[in-house]
Amino acid sequence: MGIETTRWDITEFLDNDAAIAAYLDAVFEVGDPEEIRDALLHVAKARGMTELAHAAGITRPGLYKALGEKGNPSFATVAAVLNALGVKMNVSPRAA
């Protein structure tokens, strides 16, 4: 008899501003563009794609396209999504 498991879904844990900010901060720290795109998609799904797209001034299909697996969001799109989420990017020197 096998063990039954359920798929882990990060969006279930992105239920408040602090969790979202911490998640995005960690992903941006790594700096991998694909991981950043994926993280923005996770947060967008957790917040609600329609509402976030509207707040960012992007169509819902456009947001899915930009943040989807084959997406390559422009900096303007990333900035609009971050602004709609109520978070900002910070730039600081990397440790040597």
User: Residue 69 has what pLDDT?
Assistant: 93
- CA 30 to chain centroid: 14
Tokens coding 29 = 């720290």
Distance between terminal CA atoms of the chain?
51
pLDDT in tens, 42-55: 999 999 999 999 99
Is pLDDT at 1 greater than 80 in this prediction? no
State the CB neighbour count (10 A cutoff) for residue 54: 14
Evaluate if pTM is beyond 0.85: yes
User: Residue 61 has what pLDDT?
Assistant: 97
Task: Please count the helices (runs of H) and the strands (runs of E) in the chain.
Answer: 5, 0
Is pLDDT at 95 greater than 90 in this prediction? no
Strand segments, DSSP code E, in 20-81 are none
pLDDT in tens, 18-44: 999 999 999 999 999 999 999 999 999
User: Residue 67 has what pLDDT?
Assistant: 97
What percent of the chain is modeled with pLDDT above 70?
100
> What is the rounded CA–CA span in Å between residue 36 and residue 31?
7
58 secondary structure, DSSP code: -
> What is the rounded CA–CA span in Å between residue 67 and residue 36?
9
